[in-house]
Amino acid sequence: MQKSLLALLSGCMIAMGGVTVSAQELYVPRNVKKAIEKGTRTLTGKPGPNYWQNKGVYDIQVKVTPETRIVSGQETIQYTNNSPDTLKMIAIRFVNNLHKPIAPRSHITSPDFLDRGLEITEMSIDNQSYIINSERMGTVGAVRLKSPIMPHQTASLKINWNYPLSKQSGREGQIDSTTFYVAYSYPRVSVYDDYNGWDMLDHSDRQEFYNDFNDYNLAVSVPKNYVVWATGDLLNPDEVLQPEIAARLKRSYTSDEVIHIADFQEMMDNKVTRQNDWNTWKFKADHITDICFGTSKNYVWDGASVIVDPKTGRRASVQAAFNDTAKDFHHNVAWAQHSLHYFSTQWPGVPYPFSKMTSFQGYADMEYPMMVNDGTTPELKFSQMVQDHEIAHTYFPFYMGINETRYAYMDEGWATIFEYLIGQEEFGKAHADSVYKMFRVAGYIKDPSAEEDQPIISMSTQVSGAGYGHNSYGKASLSYLALKDLLGDQLFKKALHYYMDTWNGKHPIPWDFFGAMNAGSGKNLNWFFQNWFFTNNYIDIKLASVQKGSGTYTLTIDNPGGFAIPFDIIVTYQDGTTSTRHQTPITWKENQAQQVIKITTKKNISKIVLDGNLFMDYTPEDNVWISN
């Protein structure tokens, strides 16, 4: 890398183990340096002048046969190579080959999870036939091209295929005998990007996904009385629904009140869909990273809408499909209305970018573009929190095109912070704090194992178990909350919006985030990013000593854990009164090992406590001083 580029990540004074280090540079991997040299990336937070990304236009026709659980399809893909490279191979990805007995997985599984995987019966590229050995294909496979795809050329792929849905439902599969969630259900072109080339990482069921922004036309054929809910706009409601049901659906598009589009009795009496032997449901979605659908013969159907862009009055449809016995799901449309409004107007404060959000009852607690697949629980607050989290993923990874496979903290961390912030409005700050600490922090900070202290920047495929979960969710969200505390809400949101405005619809990586937050805030935050992302730090501060002087108390606060955290100094006076002094993470900028803070007072102090609140301390017992 050129010295001038490195200088953009320099200029901070960093205290490392008590030693002040000048001109700190963030580590930049060699492949990212190479992309910078080629002009596709920068360290300023903006894409390079030569930035590119590839795109597919998919036309998919799918048939689901409930009795056999077979999903069969045929598709055409117009794949445009926007790169400057000549592509001599193409990578085909099919995530659901995870179910093959030979597939590498991150967990033990049951026989009902296993199946034969994808069978490609026919494939051609630009009218040249290819024979695909489906038995040897994993979740991603390389196809050597007979004719290369030249820069800026569009290739036409045609693929016919089939596979069985697994009996055991995870992120997809059979929910009950007449209900199925069909995700990752078609062979797709894997991502070819500017910093890694072809994405050839196998899916292990731990890390999540990385996809291009594509355009989709989807046609799903199912037997009569099966309803289909999918990513995208339903193009032909009058062809697949009986008139009254279609009318209710259309009314829900502009209704603030929840409408019962189809109740249980109507589903049982076959009064919902057209009574053709098979109905074909057609959906369309453009500039989106994936498409999926659920189908059921027995789920009830609720719908409403909500204004997601107050400036234009644009509404989004909000729908839910669920078993009538699931008490929590009867609230899901109303909950989702609130979620979409909050996320659009508060945090992140970006209007919901899609036309629809559907909540489908399954087992996954998982996000998909315009859909979530969540389990049912008797605890309503927990159910709402889970749905909030999954809907928050609309922004990260789908709006922002995050590579979840390599950088899970770039989406899970944000969904977790938004889950916490909306929880304050829904249930109050005390409840939100308690839940966040219980689910996101306690397990991490109370476990001294080495895997808990791996740097957040570690590639997500290289960490596992607790290390993966806490790096992706708890520690990442804590870093964003610490940055929010450091900058203040107004400047933090300004910087966040700069990042999102700059990179939505593209593929940002961590160094794009660092640069964008620097540019958006107008501050060099590299000392903070170095501290939180590139170290083995953990949360542990210590009130090392308190010295009483004339009208002053001098506090020496050590930071053996190393993270630059915010914390409160809570002072109790001998007369019973208290005061609180908040220290933002900026406290640690010049010296990350120790701080000396003076409290000026005419009153005698009986007790001092250092309280990090959400930033739970590994050894809280040494955060207290009591006067003798």
pLDDT at residue 324 tops 80? yes
- Answer whether residue 422 shows pLDDT above 70: yes
The CB density around residue 144, as the number of other CB atoms within 10 Å, is: 9
Question: Looking at residues 110-114, what average pLDDT do you find?
Answer: 95
- Mean pLDDT of the 273-279 span: 98
Q: Which pLDDT does position 628 carry in this prediction? A: 84
Q: Is the peptide bond before 66 cis (omega within 30 degrees of 0)?
A: no
Fold of 414-533: Neutral Protease; domain 2 (1.10.390)
Is residue 500 over pLDDT 60? Answer: yes
CA pair distance 471, 454, nearest whole angstrom = 8
Q: Output the pLDDT for position 8.
A: 36
Read off the pTM. 0.95
Tokens of 138: 């994993």
- The predicted pLDDT at position 1 comes to 42
Label residue 443 by pLDDT band (50, 70, 90). very high
Backbone angles phi, psi at 587, to 5 degrees: -50, -35
Confidence class for position 606, pLDDT limits 50, 70, 90: very high
Three-state secondary structure call for residue 610: strand
The yes-or-no verdict on residue 219 having pLDDT over 50 is: yes
| The pLDDT of residue 2 | 37
Q: Indicate if the pLDDT at residue 87 is higher than 90.
A: yes
What was the pLDDT predicted at 465? 87
The band of 19, judged by pLDDT with boundaries at 50, 70 and 90, is very low
pLDDT at 13 over 90: no
Is the model's pLDDT at 4 over the cut of 80?
no
- The first and second tokens of residue 93, run together, are 């990805």
The answer on pLDDT for 395 being more than 60 is yes
Question: Residue 306's Cα: distance from chain center in Å?
Answer: 22
Helix (H, G, I), strand (E, B) or coil at 73: strand
Q: Give CA torsion, residues 528, 532, 538, 539, to 10 deg.
A: 50
Structure token pair of residue 606: 């009986």
244: phi then psi, degrees, rounded to nearest 5: -65, -40
Q: What is the mean pLDDT of residues 426-452?
A: 97
User: Are the C-beta atoms of 538 and 453 separated by less than 8 Å?
Assistant: yes
Q: What is the dihedral of CA 330, 336, 339, 345, to 10 degrees?
A: -140
Tell me the two tokens of residue 402. Answer: 């995050």
d(CA 585, CA 141): 46
Q: What is the arithmetic mean of pLDDT over 299-321?
A: 98
User: Within the chain, how many helices (H) and strands (E) appear?
Assistant: 15, 32
Q: Give the pLDDT confidence score for residue 24 in this predicted structure.
A: 63
Res. 496: pLDDT tops 90: yes
The Cα–Cα gap between 287 and 23 comes to 41
Q: Which residues of 586-607 are buried (b: 16+ CB within 10 A; e: fewer)?
A: ebbbebbebbeeebeeeeebee
Q: Is CATH 3.30.920 the classification given to domain 53-212?
A: no
Mean pLDDT confidence for 243-262: 98
What residues are paired with 510 via a beta bridge?
none
Ordered by start, the domain boundaries in the chain are: 53-212, 224-379, 414-533, 542-626
Q: Which of 272, 264, 286, 271 is nearest to 237 (CA)?
A: 272
* Sheet-wide strand order for 300-309: 259-262, 300-309, 314-322, 356-361, 371-374, 366-368
Fold classification of 542-626 is Immunoglobulin-like (2.60.40)
Mean pLDDT of the chain: 95
- Shared fold status for 53-212 and 542-626: yes
Mean pLDDT of 407-418: 98
Of all residues in the chain, the percent with pLDDT exceeding 70 is: 96
pLDDT tens for 519-555 read: 999 999 999 999 999 999 999 999 999 999 999 999 9
Q: What is the pLDDT of residues 25-51, one digit of tens each?
A: 899 999 999 999 999 999 999 999 999
